[in-house]
Amino acid sequence: MSQVSLRPMTADEFDTWASDAIETYATDLSVATGTPRDLALAQAKEQFLHLLPIGVDTADTWVMVIEDTTGNRVGTIWIGPHPTNESSAFVWDIKIDEPRQGQGLGRAAMLAAEELAVNDGRSEIGLNVFGFNERAQKLYTSLGYRVVSTTMAKDLPGHRP
């Protein structure tokens, strides 16, 4: 199994990451919900500002760079407070750089995130995964995550976005 370490992002890394993460989340939100892209982007910006009001210095939040055993950056992960359970942590975002995907680094990063949460006294860790992201769903299931709720939707004839 691949091993990784997590290190805090610098302010410069955060600025680059936040811009990319907001764009990616807006795209995923638009694809998953049918929300027009401009509205999804506005929602993503608002959520990031709410959840990370002072960037890398936001309390009880870890915005980390994932590094492989040689110290090379292979991705990023954002862990913070759970939105509804103060004793739990929540993985708000995880991304393994495309050339490094499929090497077990996402699994190793999630295990490192769990360790971080345990060391911080958290009793549980949660996350959200969009319905179209079957690869991530399989990873999380294999790590012991369970479905807590499911939101479903159906496009009606003649009313497609």
Using one digit for the tens of pLDDT, what is the confidence trace for 38-96?
A: 999 999 999 999 999 999 999 999 999 999 999 999 999 999 999 888 899 999 999 99
Note the pLDDT of residue 2: 72
Residue 124 included in any domain? yes
Residue pLDDT, tens place only, 12-37: 999 999 999 999 999 999 999 989 99
For 4, the token pair is 């990784």
* Domain CATH for 37: 3.40.630.30
Residue 121 included in any domain? yes
The model's pTM = 0.90
Note the pLDDT of residue 159: 65
Note the pLDDT of residue 109: 97
| Alpha-carbon 29 to chain mean position | 13
What range does the domain containing 42 cover? 5-142
9 and 63 in contact (C-beta within 8 Å)? yes
Residue 12 included in any domain? yes
In total, how many domains does the chain have?
1
Reply yes or no on whether the pLDDT at 158 is more than 90. no
Reply yes or no on whether the pLDDT at 121 is more than 90. yes
Q: In which residue are the tokens 């949460």 written?
A: 117
Residue 147 included in any domain? no
Note the pLDDT of residue 160: 56
Instruction: Give the span between the Cα atoms of 152 and 154, in whole angstroms.
Output: 7
Note the pLDDT of residue 43: 97
Residue 54 included in any domain? yes
More confident position, 63 or 130 = 63
Give the pLDDT mean for 100-120. 95
Residue 36 included in any domain? yes
Output the 3-class SS for 3-57. CCEEEECCHHHHHHHHHHHHHHHHHHHHHHHCCCHHHHHHHHHHHHHHHCCCHHH
Instruction: Give the span between the Cα atoms of 77 and 64, in whole angstroms.
Output: 5
